[in-house]
Structures are given as C-alpha cells and as structure tokens.
Structure 1
Amino acid sequence: MMHPSNTRHALLDNPLSDLQQLGINGEGIKIGIIDGAIDCQHPILNHLNIECFSAQTGKSTSHGTAVGSIIGGKGVGIAPASTLLSIPVFHEDERGNIHGCSERTLAKAIRDARLNGCHIINISGASLSINGQGTDELRKAIDDCEKDGVLVIAAVGNEGRNSESLPASMDFVLAVGACDKEGFPASFNNYGIKLRNKMLLASGVSIPVATPNYDLSVVSGSSFSAPVVSAVSALVMRAMNVANDSRASKMIRDVLFNTATPLVLSTAGNRDSVVYRLNIQKLFRQIAQEFYHPLPKRITTMSTEEKMVEPAAVELLVPSIIDAQQDVQNVELDDDEVLAPSSLSQEASVPSSASSHATGLSLSKISDPAANHYVHAPARRVMPQSSALDARTIRDQEKVFVIGQVGYDFGTEARLDYFTQVMGNKSGYPFDPVQMAEHLNTGDNAEQSNALIWTLKIDGIPVYAIKPDAQFAVLEYARLVEFLYEQETKGVERVSIAGVISGETRLFNGQVIPTISPVLRGMFNWESQDISKMLMGESAVGTPKSKELINFINRIYYELRNRGYESNERAINYAATNAYQMKEIFDDAFAEGLFLNKISAERSPVSRPESDCWDVVLEFFNPKERLTAARKLYRYTVDVSDVMPVTVGTLRSWHAY
C-alpha cells in the first residue's frame, strides 16, 4: 500500500489527477484487452508495456488501437503506467469494417487473459441476446475470473434496444454504457432489464483516441466507455492494493457503484429504473478517506469539471468522466430516440486536430460473422494435424478428449435436399438417425459421409463438430459411420473422441460450435454390458459387481459430464475409458465392499519435463460403516500433454479418515 505521505502533493483541483496520483497511474496492474490488434508503434502508445498473447499476423485495427489509447495513451489515457495484454479476436476487412468473434472464441480469450495474470479484462464488444445467459463455456470463463478476483468489464452495445447483450448482461460482468459530456445517457445504449439493473455510465461521446498510422480521431460509443471504466478500475485497484486478491473484482465493483451518481432512467412503456454514472470526485474521496489516513488538506478547492490534459504533441481533451453531483437526477428519454440505433460513423466523429481525421469505429459483435457459410475461419489459425505430427507441436494446440454420442447435421438447405434425394424423395427421412445410419452403411454410401457435419453430443446437445482432415480421414469417416450405425441399431451408448480444435462450424440451426480434427487412435465406442463382459467375464454379467462397474461408467458421463477441453477434464475422461486400470480398482474395491464416492483430478506435484500430468483420485467408502470405516483412495497419474492421454507410473491406494 502506498504511504500517506506520497499523496501530499496529489491533491490538486483535478479529481482524475488526484486518483491517478493515488493509484500511481495504474502501475503494476495488468489489463487484458480482448479486441482487435493494437498499433503498438503509435506515438501515443509506444511508451506502454504492451504484451501480445499471440503473434499478430494481421494488421492493427482502429478499434483495438482506440481502446488501448483510452486506457494508457499519452495525454488521452487514464492509466498510462498499466501493463496491457492484447488478445486479438476482432479483425478489420479492407474497407475498415470490423468483424466479431464467436462466444467460444471470446470464452477462450477470457480464459487466456486470466491465466496470463490479468487483473482486469476489457471487452469492447457485444452481441444482442434474448436472455443474456451466454454459452456454458462463456459462463465458466467468467465464473473462473470472479473466483480469482479478475474484474471483467464489457460494453452494453450500441443498438439502442430494450434487449440484453453479451457478455455485459452476464453475472459478475461490469456492464458499461455511454453518457455525453453533460452526463446524460447516450441514446444508443442497449437497455435490457439486466443491463438497467447493473449499468455504470461513463463518458462515451466525442472521446479522443489514437488510430493506426499515427493518426488521431474523436469517437463515440459504449465501446469506448468500457476502457474508461477499465482504466479507472486499474487506478482504484492499485490505490486499494487489492491486485491478486480473490475479492478484488467484487470490491472494485462495489466501490464504483457506491460512489456513483444515481440517475432515474425513464423510457416509454418501461418502468423507471436507476442507472449509475461514474463519479470520479466522490470515488477519489472515498478511496482517500478509507485507505489513506488522515486525509491531507487540499491545496485548492476541488473543481467540479475535468481539466484539460496536454499531451506532448497534440492538445486533446481527457474524457469528461467527472460528475460532481451526488443527488438523484431524473433523465427523461423519448422512446423513439432510444430505440433508434446510433450510427457511429464518420459523421459522428470530429477531428481533434488538423493532423487527424475521423474514423468510424463501431462496436464489435460477439457473434459468428459468417452469415452465409456454415464454416468460417477460426480466430487463430491452428496448424493442420497432418503437418503437426510432432508431439511437441501438438502439445501447444487446443486438445480435446470428450465423451458423448455421435450425431450429424446438414448445415445448409442444399445438403439437406441432397440427402433427401439420395435416400429416396418419398421414403427417405434424413433427420431420422436410424434411416441415416442404415443408408450410410449400405453399399458404397459411406462415401457420402463427408457431406454431413458430424457432431459430438452431450445429452442431445451438439458441443463439437467432427471433421477428419488428416492422412487417415477416409478411415475416420468410416469409423464415424460405424459409430452411428452401432449406436442406432446395436445399443452402443458412448463414444470418445480425441483430437485438436481446428476451427468453428455453423450448424443448420445457426449454432456455432468448435470443430475437432480427430485422431484415429483416439476414436472409440462402447456399450456398458460389453465392458463388463470384457473386464469380468461372461459369468459376471448381471452380478452386483458388474452393475457397480456399469454404474461407475454411467456416473462419469452423467455426473461429471464436461467438454473434455481443460486438462483436468481430459484426465478424468481418460480415466473413465481406461478399462484395464478401472478393472484393477474395482476388483480391489469390490472385495472390500466399497462404493465410489467421488472422482477428482488435481495437478500432479511431480511431473516430467514438457508434460502436463494430473493425479486422478477416486474415493471409495463403505456405505454400511460410513462413520467408523476409513475411506479408501486410489490414485493414478495421467499425462495429457499429447493429443491422446497416457497413464504414468502405477496405481497407488491408501486409507484416509
């Protein structure tokens, strides 16, 4: 924590300068910018420590550069001493139009930002949503941030609709809307029920920013309000000395809202709701009084207006984010004005100097931009499996080992019509999996299998598309046909697929899911009774021991169902399919009358170089003597660094109370 004496000369008549002094300009705070690529060589940004998560193969974007300059640019930035981590997920085409990303790509970017030490994550992108829930992947990524104290900040979107937006509407996300220099909410803010209950307003109209090619511009949009709040949060986090605290995200949200100015937002046809506007003056005094005792005397009376900050070369105004009014204000908005989307185009941008020009920077969409294609390019190029046979190369890719059921999709009307014709216009029904399985398994029809989008489903929900693209693609398609046929006609219950994520696929219903490039040696299917026969013999079928083994297999699938993406998930899923190790455990446990209590995976304290080892622990108990008998634990180590997990060492067991 900074010593009180360090604030002696900080109390000027500019509350933002005061807060910057108190927060040491965000020094030591790492902000993840999930946006387009940033122009790191821009004169306003070249002083910053900007880390790039991956090599930027594309050109820098106006949107990402603008967001970065608001956070830390010379003269226009609020936290110029902070560290930025650029994670590019948006890109611009030749015409300057920005294209968004899928929720899966966003979830991965959030996860990467958290794992790379970010304290704050800024997302200046949004997608309209009916309920604001998001996918389970996105929810998990944000939940993990909250557990670690990482603050996620997102723009509400610029469509001006009474609708939720992602990810701003999601739990634990600080939703940021724009207000003008007078403090009135911008008409282009989205204002769904969830957003109205959690929105924080900050300056988002006529914001001076840097753009690529050493240019400057003035822009508007909630896209540019979010980095204002992110930068202020960095100052507060540094001043409160709570970085790396698991409670940090909640503490920052609380202090921002507790010191904000409440506004009553009225729209035709909706109940009045209270939104809050960032109040730097009150925020500074709250931080100073709570964390720096005693509060030094002010040199001058605090101004209620933001002072101008002069950069080295060009005179630019700092975003007008100060609001000195602390009483509740009523803001009446005409409903027609609110519902009309604001066009954040060149007409809305005013040059800040003769040397700069206006650029139209709009809010990035977190959705699939490929409206007319069922497959679109991944946000980050993944090396094809055929050219990545080296295990050291595969180790750095996104690996999957997932358990589920195989399914299929058509993707387009044309593909659906094709199968309707080849299966018989009158008798064939392509949506019937039994008919499709029998059709593909007849004659040479297996050659039609690559016209389908093969999927891996969990509880009937497609979570991955399966697209063989390696040297064994023909055999992999044949195995998928076999899996479908045995699943629909012979009662096979599960399949397991090992592979690497190679992109994303759009299904017939518009859903976008990750695509797996499978490996043939990691494709299996099974039926519980067959496993029981294989491990325990024909005579054991129907016995209590056999039923307990089947219960264990089903429990892995139903209770611990997962996407098989995280390292611990792949370790657990591999444990469920490692039949011979499973037999060794159950022979011993059943002999002692023990039943499975829980299964977990934790990172192994002992690991081989360049490996990713996890200890899978199975805990058994005696249901007849739960209070007196010790639990028995079995542990074996799984290395998931390769696309196909392997066990390391031997099975260990011990008793524990």
Structure 2
Amino acid sequence: MSHNPAESVGWSVTAVASKQLVYGLGTLGYEFSSDDHRKSFIAKITYMMKSAAEEVVSWLSDLGGKKPAEPTGLESDPDDPRQMVEYLRKNPSEAKGLIWTLIVDQAPIYAISPAGTDEGEIYARLIELLDGQARGDAAMDGADSGPDGMKAGDSEACIWLIGVAGRLGGRTIELRSGQIVPVLEVERADRLNGLDIRELVDMTTAGAAETKADRTQDRTSLTDNEIDERERSRLRGFLNRIHFDSRNLGVTSRDRALNFAVFQGFSINNADLWARSDFATIFADDISMESIDIEKSAFERGDGDTREVEFRFYDPTYTRNVEKVFRYTVDVSGVQPITVRMRHSDEM
C-alpha cells in the first residue's frame, strides 16, 4: 500500500488554506478522469500508431517491389509516458483533459492546474517535463544502454524530479482511484522546472567505462552489464538518499526552502559549461550525506521569509571527520523561491 504524505501530516482536504504558497518537489504524473476517459486514449493512441505504421507501408510500397503486409497487433498503453508524450506532441490540446499530478512516495499529493493566461505554455511545459522524466527513468534503468553500456541523452534532458511553485486555491479534485487531492494552481510555465541529471548520468557512464578499462588489467571479473548496473545502483542510492531526507508537502516556509535548496544543489552554479553542480561534486567524490539542517536566517530583510539550509556530507573512508558543507540562503516570501546566497566549505 502506498504511503500518502498528506495523510501522514493529518491534512484535511476540506480545510485547505486558500492561496497557501507551495513549492513542491516530486515526480510528474497524469491520471484519467474515468475508465471511459482512459479507454478513449487507448483508441486515440492506437489510431496514431496505426496511421504511422501505414505511412511506412505506403512509403515502402512507393519504392517498388513487393507490397509489405498491413500493420497488425499494434498495442497502445496510455499509462506509458513515452506513448502519451508522442500523442500529446501531435495533439497538444488533449493535455487539458488529463489530471496532471505531483507525486511523492508513489502517491499523488497535488493536482497541477494552470491559472491565469499561460495555460497553453504550462501544458506544453508539462509535456516537455514528462518527456524528460521518461528519458531520465530509462537512463537510470539502463534502457538506453547499447553495446557500449550506459549512455546519456546528449543534449536531451534526463529529468529526475520536478519543482513546482504555485498556490493552493482551496479546490480539491477526486482522482480515478477515489483519492482526493488539493489543486495546486500554477500561474506561469517558468514555475515548472525539472531536475536534469544528465550530468550525473554522464559521470556514471564515465565511471563504468573506467572500471571496464581496469578489468582488462585483471582488476575485476565483472561483466559489462554488471559494471553498468553497479554504477546505476550507486547513482540511484545517491539520489534516493537526498530525496528521502527531503520529502515533504512543500507548504511550510521550512519545507519550501528545503525543496528549493535541493533543486539548487543540482544546478550548475556558474557560467563554465564544464563546471559541476554542488551535488555532482559530492557524487564524484563518493562521499555520503550526514544531515540536513534548516533554520531561520539572520540575513532576513524587511517582510522577507528567509531560511538557511545546510547540507553536510562526510567521507566514510577517512578516520577523521572530514566534512563538506553546502549552505543555501533561500527567500520563500514569494511564490517562486529565490536563492539569496550560496556558501561552500570543508571542515575537519
């Protein structure tokens, strides 16, 4: 049975604070309003797949020779994000009919709803993020692996989590499962962003390649697949630990600051295209998270709402307590949190 974070903090969906600020961090999902709604997408995606296959048959026939057999046995699955993305890219207006959700611990906690004049741009952004998330899942699972092992998506985004800045307007919606979740209103497309882990996937691929090179010198007897899976497992463990320690509903000032700081930790922090993000540096050094501390900032100004978020890491191979500390000062007084300053240090 899935754990619902909303239940764990005793939320009553009938008593949602109106216009409460939220900065949520989780995975992107979508749901259908009913079984009939889902069946309609099965028919639509099947038609799309059949039309595409028939175009290929027609093209091959035009080349001459024996006419290929008509396409049969096409199976559509509207729950497959890759098929859904392909369909929505060709039929973007259909995105409005889906219930888009923010998921934490495999359970929807919010239904994402455009508010204001950016509706079209917001739905386009949701489709883009769903595409990147499917690519990120494939990279993590090794589905993109070829004969040379793991491959990153080059210029294509590999999304791990999404950050959503919005407001709770007091509305709720019932999902097909019967679960009722608050509606999170998003006013602008740029308040929907994905945590792109291409950088970490590239580093994982490089680590696997280095291990394979070492194997030629009889340093290990692992197969290519075993090496790839070991590196992917290390990446999954690193990401899951950070997400596990920071999972929340993104409602309180503390939680909004934490979620945004996690997002910042995976962002490239200067103009150097070869620079690593803060957390990529941690991953490369193979050191472990010790704690996350959050407190009211002494640098708060005026009517701001500012928090200090501190991530502490340690190297378990050292006998001395060598630590790397990343500190982010985050102002969460507005709908979109902002980073006031970032500080890094090494402590003994």
* Separation in 1, partners of 2:134, 2:285: 38
**Equivalent residues in 2 for 1:98-177 (5 A)?**
136-141=5-10
Partner of 1:494: 161
* Correspondence 1:439 to 2:87: yes
Partner of 2:331: 639
Q: Write the letter of the residue equivalent to 1:430.
A: P
Partner of 1:572: 258
Partner of 2:130: 484
**Equivalent residues in 2 for 1:525-540 (5 A)?**
525-530=194-199
Partner of 2:247: 561
Partner of 2:193: 524
**Equivalent residues in 2 for 1:128-527 (5 A)?**
136-141=5-10, 382=18, 397-424=19-46, 427-441=75-89, 443=90, 445-489=91-135, 491=138, 492=158, 493-502=160-169, 503-518=171-186, 519-527=188-196
Aligned residues: 271
CA positional deviation for 1:457: 1.6
Structure-2 change in CA distance of 1:458 and 1:550 (3 Å): same
Q: Secondary structure at the match of 2:182?
A: strand
Partner of 2:223: none
Q: Which runs of 5+ in 2 are unaligned?
A: 48-73, 139-157, 212-230, 271-275
Q: Secondary structure at the match of 2:176?
A: coil
Partner of 1:653: 345
Q: Which runs of 5+ in 1 are unaligned?
A: 1-133, 143-365, 369-377, 383-396
* Separation in 2, partners of 1:648, 1:499: 20
Q: Write the letter of the residue equivalent to 2:301.
A: R
CA positional deviation for 1:475: 0.8
Structure-2 change in CA distance of 1:508 and 1:587 (3 Å): closer
Partner of 2:151: none
Structure-2 change in CA distance of 1:487 and 1:631 (3 Å): closer
Structure-2 change in CA distance of 1:541 and 1:647 (3 Å): farther
* Separation in 2, partners of 1:381, 1:624: 48
* Separation in 1, partners of 2:106, 2:281: 35
Q: Which structure has the larger Rg over C-alpha atoms?
A: 1
* Separation in 1, partners of 2:323, 2:109: 36
Q: Secondary structure at the match of 1:418?
A: helix
Which of structures 1 and 2 has the larger relative contact order (alpha carbons within 8 angstroms, sep 6+)? Answer: 2
Deviations 1:350-391 (CA, angstroms, capped at 9, x unpaired): xxxxxxxxxxxxxxxx7x7xxxxxxxxx75684xxxxxxxxx
Any conservation in 2 of the 1:403–1:495 contact (CA below 8 Å)?
yes
Structure-2 change in CA distance of 1:436 and 1:632 (3 Å): closer
* Separation in 1, partners of 2:280, 2:4: 40
Deviations 1:576-598 (CA, angstroms, capped at 9, x unpaired): 21113594645886899854312
Partner of 1:148: none
CA positional deviation for 1:552: 4.6
Structure-2 change in CA distance of 1:587 and 1:488 (3 Å): closer
Structure-2 change in CA distance of 1:507 and 1:651 (3 Å): same
* Correspondence 1:613 to 2:306: yes
Q: Secondary structure at the match of 2:295?
A: strand
Q: TM-score, normalised by structure 1?
A: 0.36
* Separation in 2, partners of 1:494, 1:482: 13
Q: TM-score, normalised by structure 2?
A: 0.64
* Separation in 2, partners of 1:403, 1:636: 17
* Separation in 1, partners of 2:75, 2:235: 42
Any conservation in 2 of the 1:636–1:651 contact (CA below 8 Å)?
yes
Q: Secondary structure at the match of 1:623?
A: coil
Q: Write the letter of the residue equivalent to 2:21.
A: K
Q: Write the letter of the residue equivalent to 1:523.
A: L
* Separation in 1, partners of 2:27, 2:323: 34
* Separation in 1, partners of 2:190, 2:263: 13
Any conservation in 1 of the 2:309–2:328 contact (CA below 8 Å)?
yes
Partner of 1:283: none
CA positional deviation for 1:489: 4.9
* Separation in 1, partners of 2:278, 2:347: 14
Any conservation in 2 of the 1:639–1:645 contact (CA below 8 Å)?
yes
Over aligned residues, Cα RMSD in angstroms?
3.8
Q: Write the letter of the residue equivalent to 1:438.
A: E
Deviations 1:40-75 (CA, angstroms, capped at 9, x unpaired): xxxxxxxxxxxxxxxxxxxxxxxxxxxxxxxxxxxx
